[in-house]
Chains A and B, each alone.
Chain A
Amino acid sequence: NAGVTQTPKFQVLKTGQSMTLQCAQDMNHEYMSWYRQDPGMGLRLIHYSVGAGITDQGEVPNGYNVSRSTTEDFPLRLLSAAPSQTSVYFCASSHRTGKSNEQYFGPGTRLTVT
């Protein structure tokens, strides 16, 4: 099992550019989510999905889009990058229900917007 994979690991964007952060998991997890981590702010939920074709907003969704066309993939799209989106982004997945509830995290993408 590769677990949760994220690409790229690092990215520098100019203000106004768009890009897609990729996330994939091979554990057949129904639930997937995107977080951003900023110093002193902990992890903030951007978007999440409880299954293919179903997505919903977290606490900081503005400026980001997601889609979930397959169980395995959950890409995060930045529509028009802003310096405030400079952050470390983590993708995570878990089973939706059952005893094995813990989330598995990817290694993160460090994004800088200039």
Chain B
Amino acid sequence: AQSVAQPEDQVNVAEGNPLTVKCTYSVSGNPYLFWYVQYPNRGLQFLLKYITGDNLVKGSYGFEAEFNKSQTSFHLKKPSALVSDSALYFCAVRDIGSGTYKYIFGTGTRLKVLA
């Protein structure tokens, strides 16, 4: 069965420091991987995706993610964190192989960037 794990409930980082939010996945077939961000009292916004191609994917607001097939990971990164990056981040995988096309989400990681 497809699954996504976000091992950290919360990540704290100082403004200006690099940040990493971790995600590992389990999927049969080629993975379709996504990161979303949720600001308070808002819906989820798409950040970036990996479908095929380069393992380093660049997305919105300076975020990037590295696809690592051998470690089945898709960690979200940013070289220099901003206070405004503080939000809830979700990793997701799309189940293409079974033909259902469902998205499976992790439980989310709350990022706090400290001034």
Taking Cβ atoms with an 8 Å cutoff, the residues of A that contact B are: 4, 31, 33, 35, 40-43, 45, 48, 50, 56, 58, 90, 92, 96-97, 99, 101-108
Contacts and interface: CB of A to CB of B under 8 A. Distances in A.
Contacts of B104: 45
Among all A-B residue pairs, the 10 with the closest Cβ atoms:
A42-B107, A105-B43, A43-B105, A102-B46, A105-B44, A107-B43, A42-B108, A42-B105, A108-B43, A96-B101
B65 to A, nearest CB: 13
Contact of A101 (B36, B42, B49): B49
B34 interface: yes
A19 B42 CA distance: 22
Contacts of B46: 102-104
Contacts of A105: 36, 43-45
Contacts of B103: 33, 45, 92, 103
Interface residues of B, number: 24
8 contacts: A43-B44, A92-B103, A99-B51, A101-B94, A104-B46, A105-B44, A107-B42, A108-B42
Interface of B is mostly: strand
A106 B43 CA distance: 6
A7 to B, nearest CB: 14
Contacts of A48: 100-102
B25 interface: no
Nearest to B103: A103
Interface string B2-21: 00000001000000000000
Contacts of A41: 107
B90 A43 contact: yes
B112 to A, nearest CB: 16
B101 A90 contact: no
Given A42-B90, A101-B32, A101-B49, A31 B101 contact: yes
Nearest to A50: B101
Given A99-B51, A102-B34, A103-B46, 10 more contacts: A4-B43, A40-B107, A42-B106, A43-B105, A48-B102, A97-B101, A101-B49, A103-B36, A103-B103, A104-B46
B42 A90 contact: no
